[in-house]
Structure formats: structure tokens, C-alpha cells
Amino acid sequence: MKNDISTTFSIKLNGLVQGIGFRPYVFQLAKKWNLKGTVSNGPSGVHIQILANEKIANDFLEEIISNPPALSRIVSHELTENAFTNFSHFEIIESKTEQSGASTLLTPDLAMCENCRQELQDPDNRRFRYPFITCTHCGPRYSIIQKLPYDRVNSSMQDFDMCPECHDEFENPENRRFYSQTNSCKSCGPRLFWYESKLSKSEQVLIDNQDAILTAVKDALTKGKILAVKGIGGYLLLCDAANEMAVKTLRERKHRPSKPFAILYPDIEKLRHDTYVTDCESEHLQSPVSPVVLVKRKEISRFSIDESVAPGLDHLGVMLPYSPLLAIIASDFRKPLVATSGNISNSPIIFQDKKALEELVGIADFILTNNREIVTPQDDSVIRFSALHQKKIILRRSRGMSPDLAISQKTSPFPSQKIAFGASAKSTFCIQNGNEKYISQYHGDLENYDTQESFRHSLNHLTTIFGLSPATHGNFAMLLSDMHPGYFSTLLADEYAAKFHAKVTKIQHHQAHFAAVLAENDLAEDSENVLGVIWDGTGYGTDGMIWGGEFFYQNQRLHFPYFDSLLGDKMAKEPRLSALAVLSAFSKEPLPRFLENKFTNTEWTYLQKVIGSNTLKTSSIGRLFDAVASLTGLTDKTSFEGEAALLLEQEAQRYFDANGYDFPENYFDKAEFLIDELIADIHKEKQTGWIAAKFHYSVVKFAEHTAVQLGAKKLAFSGGVFQNTLLTDLFIENLSGKFDLYFHGQLSPNDENISLGQLAYINAVKV
């Protein structure tokens, strides 16, 4: 294409444009167009200068916007005419620094691409079995970035100078690793180190040969040993998924009695042998995110997966190797491996080498580490799909997803610096920097001290990247937190307020949930016409009660009728308490003997006194699910969060799978009628699956009845209850023809979305 030179034009691109091969793409495109100029990274995105006339400059920009590199996303662009600069050719130049803070999006870590996978398995390739193979299309990004712009010198890869061969690839425009910031090989890249746990300390096993270390890994797994392996965002614990003793030992050491473990399969073919993996699930398992996906297991899987891996469950949390190291380990072992976060249960994933060598000694028999630093920790992301409509639900948003968020980035009426500190359980924070928003990875329960420190670490990391501090960028305009006065996130917001001389605004928990789902579905401007169906386990209400069964519509709040909130957090761990509270509140009949039998005489006497004098009430639908799980005999005490609701959902799903999704009756139009009808079905010895199915269908009808009463035509759903895929299917199946339904797609419905919701609420939404 001929270029009639007129002047110099500058193009600025903001968005997900760093760490995904954007500069090499622009370089190749400029060569194709016969343009002269430069391309570089900067803290605010990609900067391009070209010699061109106005038409060619506009056409060139349109080509970039219309056909950007895979995985990139351009959020904004700007074309300006500059003073004439005479360029002799087109080149990638050194990244630019700017006085103002960074404002581009951060690229998540990317699972190993197919080209690198093939090279990894090719004996004739110089990167054969190299555990850190990457290219411009894959590898660690967010987990290694120290500051922007995204360049090797600003990441933990700065510790590894490229050898001549790697440097030649880096400089070669025809090579897939042209300008790849993570480029390395066996000669110049990170190296593995092998440690054995002995009593209370770890001792390095001096194996200089990297291949010999990988052989030692396979041998240890074959012998039933537990390994801690440094991954992309932290350490994973691995063991043979078929070895009963290994799994039992891991549970004992990790203090995790029954919560299911994730399973690493070597390839999709072996996974298909054990599970009914759908096309949609397969696609996501092999995507650049490569999350853990919950898939339905086949009966034959019980031969290759020990029952204690996912006791009593119809689904397995599975993943495929997303990093070259995991690919080598899984391929060598050739069978499924348990792959769970490297930590004691309820603590954050361990990502620092020193801490791993000190604290994982009591769990792992051997520790496989490397000398590439992890800058920020991340667990594996977890998703599931509904059985009928294949609706994706994110259960944990972390590696491969965070901190990217592709929601409408409309100009905020308050385009300033804000931090939203989120909730307590399933904690995240969200930073607004101008008009851009960045939501952190999942951190876990902030009641745990180590989780608090991990939360602080990640928050400091992101605020440093964006230059957000009093010394560099002025004060924050606003800090946002939950209303609960005892949350660590609330206290941390107050701490930041003192440090940054900023105001803290408290946002009610469920209003933040509603704001989050509105923002994600671009409904903020239409919020008054949307009924928010916000159901979860707990949230501090404006009336001092524990909310959790909320409807928001046109400045109104309706809710599930209050019942007693018993014994604080203990109620969430003992569904029998929810059963007692619900029956005591709503049943017109004497409490049944089978309920009393769930308690000792001492407990029963004490609880009768508590119920008579208790003033703290809850509207929680989450606790209602717990109550039904207890009343139907599924569980009275749980060992992990959500266990009771999961078991109830499983029973109902089995019924619908066998009988179809039409259900002839429901329990109630009014909540007060629910319990006595349900108890009557129990006394009639109705099947547990039938009762569970009827209950699920009934809460859908309850929401429908509320929507009809209010005259709402649009329903938006948020809160932890909507992690239930069956409930989602039933809403779609029964209400989609009558209402417009909106769910979360990029965020989890659980408390991970609270931080974004706090920002969305204060910026645009009135609920």
C-alpha cells in the first residue's frame, strides 16, 4: 500500500493491549502497509507513531480496531496529528514512562498455547520438556508483573538474561517469540529445585540435572507421596487420585475432612473416559483461562478416582495442565492427580518460596520449587455449567481471569481514584482509576490472619502499579466498604482513610450485590425497572438484622420473612440450627420429634431459651436451604461452606434428570406455608429427591409471585445462592418467557462481586 507522507500521526490504544503480542502485531501490520514510525508500550497502553496522510492514518487505525490480536481488547483509542518527525523505518522502541499513573488494563496469566504444547512434546525441539516454555500468546503475566509498562525488566523475568538463541528469537519479526517478554530456554531460564521434607524442615536434594528432577517427581507420585509444586500463582499439592492412603493422608495433613479436591487430568481424552464432559465444558477447560470445571462423573471414574476425593458427589472438579510444568508431570504420571491449593484449609495459597519450604513441610513429602518469583498470589479459577441450559457460573474468579473485567466502561460521573474493599468471605477489592476498574483475584475469608496479609499484599501491589499513593497521585477521592462494623475489610478501609486522608462510605451488602449485577449487564441507567433478587447466606442490614432473602424494586425492599439467627457463625456450619429456627418461626404444629433428636438434651433445653429471648433475626434464603437439607436428613453439621445447599441441589438434580423439568406443584405462595407442607411430605415418606426438587421449584415460584405482585418485567439475580446451577436452570426454564432475566457472567454471584458492586452503587446506581 502506497503511503503519501503528509505528517506524523499518533495513535494511543488503551485496554487489554500489553502482554498479548500487540507490539509485534502492530509492527507486522505497519510493514504490510509500508508505514514508517514506532510502536511502544506505556503505562496507559500502546503508543504508535506513523508517517501518513490523514486517510491512511484513519484506515490503519480502523484495521487495528477491526482485527486486533487474539485475546486483546481495545477499550479506547485516540488519533492525533503531531509535529512532523522523519522516520526511516518502522520499529518497536523502548517503552515510555509517564508522569501520571498507569491506566491500562492488566493481562491475566494465560494457559499454555497449542504451539508451545507441541514444542514441549517434540524431542527435536530445543525446548523439549522445558518446564517454563512460553511465547507471546501464553504464559505468566499478572502473576509476575511488578510495574507497568509490561516489559521483562518490570517483571520477575528480569532475573534471567536471554541467551544468544533466545535473543535472536526475540529480535526476529518472523518468529512467534518476537518481542516475547517471557522468552527463555533451558540455557537461560528459570530452574527447578527439589526438596525433601524431613521432620520439621525441608532439605534440598542436590540434583543438578533438570530431567532427573522430573523423573524424581514421577517416582515420588508413583510411590504415593504428596508433592508441593510451585505453579503460576502459588503452590499446588499433588498426589495420586486413585491412591486411597495418599488422599487420606493429604486430608489429614491439610485439615480438610470432606471438601472435594480438584483433579488434574493429563489430557481431554482421559477426562472424557471418566466424565460426561460437555462441549462447552471442554472448550473452557482448554481455553487460555483453563479453570477448574465441575463436570458430571461417570460410574467408571470410581476405578481411577478414590471415593474420598469427592465423597458422595456426582460431580468432579477437574482441570487440564495449564502450565508446561504441570503438563510434563501429568503426562509422565499418565493418571489423574489430586491438585489442590498449597495451604492448610481456610488459609490462603502459599506463593513465597521461603514460606513454602517452612510451612508445607508438614503437608508435603517433597517440594518442587523454582527460582522465578511469583509477585502476586492466585488460586485456580473455578466454574460450573447448568445441566439444562449450560449457563456458566463462576464460583471462584482468580488465575486466568483477574484482574481483567470486560464490562461497559462508561464515563463515570465521578472519574477519580477509589478503592472498594469488598466483603469478608470470598474477599476481593476493586480499584477505580479514572474510568477504569480493576477487580482483584479471590483471596478467601478475611477472618484468617494470613488471608488478611495476602489481601494487603495484593492491594499494595495494584496501588503501586497504578501509582496510587499520596506521594505520587494525590489523595483518593473515596474509599468504600461494607456496613458490617466487624469485617476486616471495613477496618482496613478505615485504616486507609487515615493514611490517605479520604472519606469512607459504607454500602449495604445486598445493595452492592444488586449494583454489581446491574453494572455487569449494563442496566445501571434502567435500575428502577429491574427487580433485584438478591439471595445469600448473610449480610448486615440497615435495620441491624441479618439480610439474605432480598428483593429490591423502585426504592422498595421486600424480603423473606424474618426468623431467628442463632449462635452467630455457628448457624452457617450447623444446618440443624437453621431447621430449628425456621420451624420455630413458621410452623403452626408442635416441633417434630425427629428435629429434637438432632440435639442433645442440654443443647435442646438451651436453644429453647435462646429462641424465646433472641432479638437478632435473619431473612436468609441460604439458611433456608440449610434448614431443608437438615429436615430431609442430608446433613446436620457441615465441614465446608455451602455443603448443605450442595447436597440438596444434588438430590433435586437427580430427580429432574430422571423425571424431566416439569413439576406439578409447589410449596407456597407465602413463605409461612412452606414448612408445615414440607414437614407433611416428610411424614408421608416422600422421596428426598422429590422434596428437594419441589423446594427448588417453589423458591422460583416465590420469586415469580413477588415479581408479578410488583409488576416487574426484568429480574436480576445475585448472591451466593445463585451458585446453584439447578436453581439457575429452573429460573430460565420457568420464567424466561415471562420476564427478562439477568445473571452474572464475568463475576461470581457470591461475595466476590461485592467490591465492584460498591463502586457501581456509588457511581451510578440508586437502589
CATH architecture of 513-763: 2-Layer Sandwich (3.30)
CATH architecture of 192-380: Alpha-Beta Complex (3.90)
The Cα 760–Cα 752 span in angstroms is: 14
**CB-based contacts of 629-634 (< 8 A; 24+ apart in sequence):** 629/575, 630/575, 630/576, 630/578, 630/579, 630/598, 631/579, 631/583, 631/595, 631/678, 631/679, 631/682, 632/682, 632/688, 632/691, 632/692, 633/688, 634/688
Residue 497's pLDDT is 92
Question: Residue 159's closest CA among 359, 396, 373, 410?
Answer: 373
Residue 667's pLDDT is 86
The boundaries of every CATH 3.30.420.40 domain in the chain are: 513-763
pLDDT in tens, 697-717: 999 999 999 999 999 999 999
The answer for residues whose C-beta is within 8 angstroms of residue 229's C-beta and 6 or more apart is 217, 235, 236, 237, 238, 325, 326, 329, 342, 367, 368
77's enclosing H/E stretch is strand 73-82
Residue 467's pLDDT is 79
The Cα 50–Cα 11 span in angstroms is: 8
Residue 629 C-alpha cell reads as 437439607
Residue 278's pLDDT is 98
Q: Amino acid letter at 492? A: L
The boundaries of every CATH 3.90.870.10 domain in the chain are: 192-380
Please check whether residue 346 is in contact with residue 352, taking contact to mean a CB–CB distance below 8 angstroms: no
CA atoms within 13 A on the CB side of 330: 24
Residue 396 C-alpha cell reads as 471462584
pLDDT in tens, 568-586: 999 999 999 999 999 999 9
Helices (H), 521-673: 570-573, 575-586, 593-596, 601-613, 621-631, 643-659
Residue 63's pLDDT is 96
The boundaries of every CATH 3.30.70.100 domain in the chain are: 7-92
Residue 2's pLDDT is 44
Report residues of the chain scoring pLDDT below 50: 1-2, 471-474, 765-767
758's enclosing H/E stretch is helix 754-763
Residue length, the chain? 767
Helices (H), 10-50: 22-32
Question: Residue 7's closest CA among 36, 33, 27, 32?
Answer: 36
Other Cβ atoms within 10 Å of 351 Cβ, number: 25
* CATH number among 3.40.640.10, 3.90.870.30, 1.10.580.10, 3.40.190.170, domain 105-189: 3.90.870.30
Residue 1's pLDDT is 41
> Between helices 688-710 and 725-735, what is the axis angle to 10°?
50
Q: Would you list the DSSP string of 314-344?
A: SEEEEE---SHHHHHHHHHH-S-EEEEESSS
pTM reported for the whole predicted model: 0.95
Segments of 644-755 assigned E as strands: 714-718, 740-742
**What SS3 state is found at 134?**
coil
* CATH number among 3.40.50.300, 2.60.40.10, 3.40.50.1820, 3.30.420.360, domain 411-507: 3.30.420.360
The answer for residues whose C-beta is within 8 angstroms of residue 712's C-beta and 6 or more apart is 529, 530, 531, 553, 739
Peptide bond into 43 cis (omega under 30): no
Q: What are the b/e assignments for 213-225, b being 16+ CB within 10 Å? A: bbebbeebbeebb
Question: Residue 73's closest CA among 108, 113, 100?
Answer: 108
Residue 315 C-alpha cell reads as 460431580
Residue 466's pLDDT is 84
The boundaries of every CATH 3.90.870.30 domain in the chain are: 105-189
**What SS3 state is found at 418?**
strand
Give the catalytic positions in this structure: 23, 41
Please check whether residue 572 is in contact with residue 623, taking contact to mean a CB–CB distance below 8 angstroms: yes
- CATH code for the domain defined by 7-92: 3.30.70.100
